[in-house]
Chains A and B, each alone.
Chain A
Amino acid sequence: MKSASPFGFLGPVLATIVAVALGTFVFHRYAAERADSIGRARAEQAARWLLTHGPTGVEDLRRSGTVRLAGVAFDAPPAGSRYPYLRRPIWLAHTEPGKVEAALSRDDPAEKAAADALVQDELVRLPDGGYRAAAGERLGGGERRAAVVELAPPQRVLVPWPGLSMAMLAALVFWWDLARRNPASRSRPVVGALTVSVGVLGLLAPRLLAVDRLEVPASVGSADVTGAAMLLAGVVLAPLALVVGTGWRHGSRPSPHRVAYAYIGPALLGLGVLVLVPFLYGVALAFTRASHGEVVFVGLSNFVDILSSAGRSLTEPLSFYFTLVVTLLWTLANVVLHTGIGLGLALLLKEPTLRFKGVYRVLLIVPWAVPSYITALVWKGMFNQQYGLVNHLLAGVGVAPVAWFSEFWTAFTANVVTNTWLGFPFMMVVSLGALQSIPADLYEAAAVDGASKWQKFRHITMPLLRPALVPAIILGSVWTFNMFNIIYLVSGGQPNHGTDILITQAYRFAFEQDRYGYAAAYSVLIFFILVIWSFFTQRFTRSEEA
């Protein structure tokens, strides 16, 4: 273990300080802005709310103690109108709690003047930090209604936590580095404790971000989701920046690749903006109930709902596990068929005695060249019960017409057939390429040794194909797992969502039922499944290479 040079020690400390200062500054700015926007929105909403709730609303606000002052001018529907929603106002005003009675005298000139002043919408920040909002209308013929509200200064929400948690995270990395340099150090338990507290803070942070309790409890705007996404991004990127910026991992010197990092910087930034931020936004959304701009933080309840399949039995089509099993089955069936057919055709096309190989090859690649939407719609038409080609052909051999999308297995088969049609050319092309690269002398040598066709395939073709085929199969499995088009367009999930896979189900939750939070949670789970799968396959390919 080499001793750390003073520069190497100073680098991380400086970087930590900068990261903490920056993080704290950014989040303080954010917190102040957010507190201000909450205050403004509350005042404005309270005034708007008063406009529709009138005197009882003033009473409610007074009793709840959330406002310092509230007043309203109100109206009543005209008698005998054919349209009960037409309004003719009568003048009626309330002001401060003590002056309610005085204000009730409708013709009080002072009261009228005050109300005149607030007929215009206004929203001001008072010198003491409170807010005063007025909402109102002056219409033709002296008609009007108005409401005014004054709020106490808002409490600063979420002030120290994000900065603090980032500081702790940076400290954690720092201590971890010290511990790594000096294994005998006693700092290890400290590192453990810090890890736990950072975790706890991470859990608390979204809750602190969602403080808003005046009219709609726990309702947070999309700004909060962005805030949470920023927090997550900070937590992910700060230690990364430390490691990259100070070059810890290379001993005490800064990274020698800094120029390279500078070059890829713009691309990285673009990737961050276009991929990482939406991704983290999606993750943050998974902890909310969201529909069209209205967002309510609900913690883990989406995940709990999905994973406990919320009151559904596990074998019901809308339960997560049923859909997961269908998805896995779908992936397995497709990958097996794609590989089997693709490899079989490739072997046939390699047959030296075969003529017009070029023609076959082009024809077999055609399904791949046609856009998958079109193929899917064509196949859906072919599976039509009365007019579809498939049932016509079946009728030719004496089979009664099948209602393909009425039963699970027939609908599933229709999907698989369509996707196999789309998928095998890729596997065929990959196999063909790999087959070309197998040296012919191996086969000649095997022939000299008297090997049978099967033995040649088993001991020469298969082992030499594997390095090319395994990555293709892994790729194919991921594609198939999320193959939205075919499922959505061919069976459309019929019957009763039985043939839906995870991704089409997530789509339905989001865009057919407006459950964006729930759909986001679904997508996060899909992501985790694919992460696990890719870990698994990475190991597999690594052992393959070894």
Chain B
Amino acid sequence: MNRAGRRGLSASFEPWSSAGVRRLLAGLLLVVSASLFACDTPRATPDEEEIVLWHAYRGDERAALEAGVAAFEARHPKVRVRALAVPYDAFVDKVSLAVPKGNGPDVFIFGHDRLGDWAQRGLLEPLGFLADESVLDRHPRETVDALVYGNELYGLPLAFKCLALYYDKALVPAPPATTDELEQVARALRSRNPAVWGIAWELESLYFHAPWLHGFGGAVYRDDADTLALDTPEAARSLAFVRAWRDDARIIPPEVTSALTTALFRRHELAFVVSGPWFRAELSGHDGWGVAPLPVVSATGQPARPFLGVEGLFLNRRSPRKRLAFDLMVALTGDEAARTRFTGGGQLVANQVVYEDAAVRADAFSQAFRAQAARTVALSNRPHMRRIWTPVKDALSAAIVHGAEPAGALKTAVEEIARVDP
């Protein structure tokens, strides 16, 4: 709408053409034209069916997902998929509020840790009737199992994340197989050059402590029950183990922040970092590093198992076209789409076939994480899990950094969680 057009319109209302009215009309026209533009997104025509997909991807990941969507649309000419990028911060609230009111998407993508909450409140459609073995066989078993809550399957896995061991190839020729070996290497490096540190991770975070907790035979929950298993001797031993590395062996820098970890690692002043696939972005332009699965805990002979996080595709229980939406889910988690997401989006896809490709076999980074994924413990998807991060963080902080007695600190944390969630 141009200026002359507005003037012409207001001039035709001669009796009211005071300055105020003219301005009001102009404003109204502006609002109307703006809202027309805002609505100008492609909509399904009556003989087409529309599926709405919400995701929180950006950049390459988004492009790769949209490529998969386009491939699906090409195979289903009567179907339109509206892929909407919803900001990550607002995602949980949007889904939790929109789905019960019937305004939600048909399909959406999110981390599996919210699954229990949504499933319990009846927002998600169980896939037990829709899926079959051939669909599930495409994915690593542990990524499928992570999407089960209360013996119902609620999603199909797209991608996974877990921690692994980054090492500096200039300092360490080959990754260590056990924690004793790792400690020896680190001690040797430290004695040669005191400016070099052995290993670093976010000491006070349960997510980063989980590998050692599981490696020592501990767990967050007792099997299949909502009771916590954090106040066990195994868990306490894992805390004491980390403290010994920090205070006695002195291979862990005493105050670790993520920025400092990156800086030290890039300066070749840190031999090992425990981190996830996202750490690669911090190392852009830096060479001479490798990734390997975390070592076996020498004291128990069990591998250090990090948490497994799975990004799943979920089906809205109120969707009016579940069968079609499920077909989209199957297509997006399929081999072709997974390949696109792997190469184009840089995702660690939860698809077995992709990792068998010759090109992918040669990629040490993704193979290391794929190998690590087989030695993980799925992050619990029960709603209760969200309540435990802060109290356990306090316990880790007290026992590892501030010298409190591990068993006591864990007991306090368990009491604190019980107090919050009776």
Question: Which of A77, A145, A294, A513 has a CB less than 8 Å from the CB of B386?
Answer: A513
The distance in angstroms between the C-alpha atoms of A292 and B394, with both chains bound, is 24
Question: Which of A48, A403, A515 has a CB less than 8 Å from the CB of B254?
Answer: A403
Binary contact track A391-420/B, C-beta < 8 Å → 1, others 0:
000000000000101100000000000000
Contact of A538 with B by CB under 8 A: no
Contact of B367 with A by CB under 8 A: no
A83 near B136 with CB under 8 A, answer yes
Residues of the B chain whose Cβ atoms lie less than 8 Å from the Cβ of A311: 419
Q: Kindly list 9 other residue pairs between chains A and B, CB separation below 8 angstroms, not including A86-B136, A87-B126.
A: A48-B317, A139-B130, A293-B121, A494-B397, A496-B394, A496-B397, A496-B398, A497-B394, A513-B387
B129 near A87 with CB under 8 A, answer yes
Contact of B122 with A by CB under 8 A: yes
Residues of the B chain whose Cβ atoms lie less than 8 Å from the Cβ of A82: 133
Measured CB to CB, the residues of B under 8 A from A are: 92-93, 96-97, 100, 117, 121-122, 126, 128-133, 136, 144, 148, 151-153, 253-255, 257, 260, 317, 322-323, 386-387, 389-390, 394, 397-398, 401-402, 416, 419-420
Name which residue of chain A comes closest to B93, CB basis. Answer: A292
Contact of A56 with B by CB under 8 A: no
User: Closest CB of chain A to B71's CB: distance in Å?
Assistant: 23
Contact of A385 with B by CB under 8 A: yes
Classify the secondary structure of A's interface with B.
loop
What is the number of residues of chain A that contact chain B, defined by CB distance less than 8 Å?
39
Contact of A537 with B by CB under 8 A: no
Contact of A127 with B by CB under 8 A: no
The distance in angstroms between the C-alpha atoms of A83 and B131, with both chains bound, is 10
Binary contact track A283-295/B, C-beta < 8 Å → 1, others 0:
0000000001110
Contact of A125 with B by CB under 8 A: no
User: Closest CB of chain A to B353's CB: distance in Å?
Assistant: 18
Name which residue of chain B comes closest to A120, CB basis. Answer: B320
User: Closest CB of chain A to B35's CB: distance in Å?
Assistant: 21
A87 near B128 with CB under 8 A, answer yes
B420 near A513 with CB under 8 A, answer yes
Residues of the B chain whose Cβ atoms lie less than 8 Å from the Cβ of A485: none
Name which residue of chain B comes closest to A312, CB basis. Answer: B419
B128 near A294 with CB under 8 A, answer no
A83 near B144 with CB under 8 A, answer yes
The distance in angstroms between the C-alpha atoms of A173 and B136, with both chains bound, is 69
Residues of the A chain whose Cβ atoms lie less than 8 Å from the Cβ of B317: 48
Name which residue of chain A comes closest to B393, CB basis. Answer: A512
Contact of A265 with B by CB under 8 A: no
B254 near A293 with CB under 8 A, answer no
Question: Which of A77, A86, A145, A495 has a CB less than 8 Å from the CB of B397?
Answer: A495
A514 near B128 with CB under 8 A, answer no
Given contacts A140-B323, A512-B389, contact A293 B97 (CB under 8 A): yes
B136 near A385 with CB under 8 A, answer no
User: Closest CB of chain A to B21's CB: distance in Å?
Assistant: 18
Contact of A143 with B by CB under 8 A: yes
Question: Which of B121, B151, B401 has a CB less than 8 Å from the CB of A406?
Answer: B401
User: Closest CB of chain B to A114's CB: distance in Å?
Assistant: 20
Residues of the B chain whose Cβ atoms lie less than 8 Å from the Cβ of A318: 416
User: Closest CB of chain B to A263's CB: distance in Å?
Assistant: 16
Residues of the B chain whose Cβ atoms lie less than 8 Å from the Cβ of A387: 260
User: Closest CB of chain A to B139's CB: distance in Å?
Assistant: 11
Residues of the B chain whose Cβ atoms lie less than 8 Å from the Cβ of A83: 133, 136, 144, 153
Residues of the A chain whose Cβ atoms lie less than 8 Å from the Cβ of B97: 293
The distance in angstroms between the C-alpha atoms of A244 and B344, with both chains bound, is 65
User: Closest CB of chain B to A44's CB: distance in Å?
Assistant: 9
Residues of the B chain whose Cβ atoms lie less than 8 Å from the Cβ of A294: 121
B129 near A137 with CB under 8 A, answer yes
Given contacts A384-B255, A386-B253, contact A85 B128 (CB under 8 A): yes
Complex A-B, nearest 3 residue pairs according to Cβ-Cβ distance, in ascending order: A87-B128, A85-B153, A385-B255
Residues of the A chain whose Cβ atoms lie less than 8 Å from the Cβ of B151: 84-85
> Can you identify 5 A-B contacts, CB atoms within 8 angstroms?
A84-B151, A86-B133, A143-B129, A310-B419, A403-B254
Contact of A89 with B by CB under 8 A: yes
B398 near A293 with CB under 8 A, answer no
A293 near B402 with CB under 8 A, answer no
Name which residue of chain B comes closest to A377, CB basis. Answer: B259
Give the one of B100, B255, B387, B401 with max A CB within 10 A.
B255
Name which residue of chain B comes closest to A406, CB basis. Answer: B402
A48 near B122 with CB under 8 A, answer yes
Binary contact track A69-85/B, C-beta < 8 Å → 1, others 0:
00000010100011111
The distance in angstroms between the C-alpha atoms of A515 and B131, with both chains bound, is 36
Residues of the A chain whose Cβ atoms lie less than 8 Å from the Cβ of B387: 513-514
A386 near B255 with CB under 8 A, answer yes
Contact of A45 with B by CB under 8 A: yes
Name which residue of chain B comes closest to A141, CB basis. Answer: B129
Name which residue of chain A comes closest to B263, CB basis. Answer: A387
The distance in angstroms between the C-alpha atoms of A137 and B321, with both chains bound, is 11
B96 near A293 with CB under 8 A, answer yes
The distance in angstroms between the C-alpha atoms of A383 and B281, with both chains bound, is 27
The distance in angstroms between the C-alpha atoms of A139 and B260, with both chains bound, is 55
B390 near A89 with CB under 8 A, answer no
A386 near B254 with CB under 8 A, answer yes
Contact of A207 with B by CB under 8 A: no
User: Closest CB of chain B to A386's CB: distance in Å?
Assistant: 6
User: Closest CB of chain B to A193's CB: distance in Å?
Assistant: 40
The distance in angstroms between the C-alpha atoms of A403 and B255, with both chains bound, is 8
Residues of the B chain whose Cβ atoms lie less than 8 Å from the Cβ of A386: 253-255
CB-CB contacts below 8 Å: A299-351 with B? 310-311, 318
Residues of the A chain whose Cβ atoms lie less than 8 Å from the Cβ of B416: 318
Name which residue of chain B comes closest to A305, CB basis. Answer: B419
User: Closest CB of chain B to A488's CB: distance in Å?
Assistant: 14
A384 near B148 with CB under 8 A, answer no
Residues of the A chain whose Cβ atoms lie less than 8 Å from the Cβ of B402: 406, 495-496
Contact of A508 with B by CB under 8 A: yes
The distance in angstroms between the C-alpha atoms of A143 and B131, with both chains bound, is 13
Name which residue of chain A comes closest to B388, CB basis. Answer: A513
The distance in angstroms between the C-alpha atoms of A303 and B17, with both chains bound, is 60
B398 near A85 with CB under 8 A, answer no
